[in-house]
């Protein structure tokens, strides 16, 4: 492929591949409790609920894959 000016734009890759990086805040000891939806910081930032029991809930249920869709096999 020909070179492109954004070939090494790793920030763009990160933004395109991940919806957000809020989950990284769970690893910051100074933000302990941020996963609680009642936390002032959580509410001020408008974060999704990062509590462990919600990790597998879709961010946007309207765009979630239909669980009854099945799988394609090649």
- By residue count, the chain amounts to 74
The H-assigned helical ranges of the chain are 10-17, 40-45
Domain spans, the chain: 10-55
The distance between the two most distant Cα atoms of the chain, rounded to a whole number of Å, is 50
Euclidean distance between CA atoms 42 and 24, whole angstroms: 13
User: What would the pLDDT profile of 15-74 be if each residue is shown by its tens digit?
Assistant: 778 777 888 888 899 989 988 888 888 889 888 778 888 888 877 778 878 878 887 776
Q: What is the pTM of this model?
A: 0.51
């Amino acid at each position: 492929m020909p070179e492109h000016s954004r070939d090494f734009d790793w920030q763009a890759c990160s933004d395109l591949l991940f919806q957000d990086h809020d989950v990284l805040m769970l690893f910051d000891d100074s933000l302990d409790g941020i996963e609680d939806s009642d936390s002032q910081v959580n509410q001020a930032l408008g974060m999704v609920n990062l509590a462990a029991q919600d990790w597998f809930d879709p961010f946007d249920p309207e765009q979630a894959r239909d669980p009854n869709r099945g799988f394609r096999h090649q």
